[in-house]
Amino acid sequence: MHVILTKLSTNHNNLRTKVIVGIASELPEIGSTFRMTAKPLNPDTDIRLIETSLVTNVENEGNTYVFYTENSQYLLKVLSTPC
């Protein structure tokens, strides 16, 4: 599914950009990490892989998810899902 991930708050600087547009195969789930891929920031690489720490809470309304990890809070908006 095509998504936009926005970092709302964090206690680290591991994510180099605040907003990431990319593809996720699964929605955030409590007890798991959230993973997605995006276009690379470095032209010498093929893909950018984003993986959060463990998800501790998920709030959902329609196609929008606010989820919390051990270190951060994110907003995930699902733009489209595969047919």
pLDDT, tens only, 42-61: 888 889 999 999 999 999 99
- Do β-strands 2-10 and 33-38 pair in parallel, antiparallel, or remain unpaired? unpaired
The CA distance from 33 to 17, in Å, is 19
Apex 47 CA angle, 82 and 28, nearest 5? 50
- Threshold 0.85, pTM exceeds: yes
pLDDT confidence of residue 80: 85
Number of domains making up the chain: 1
The CA distance from 17 to 59, in Å, is 23
Could you list the residue range(s) of the whole structural domain that residue 62 is in?
2-80
Which token pair is 18?
A: 């605040």
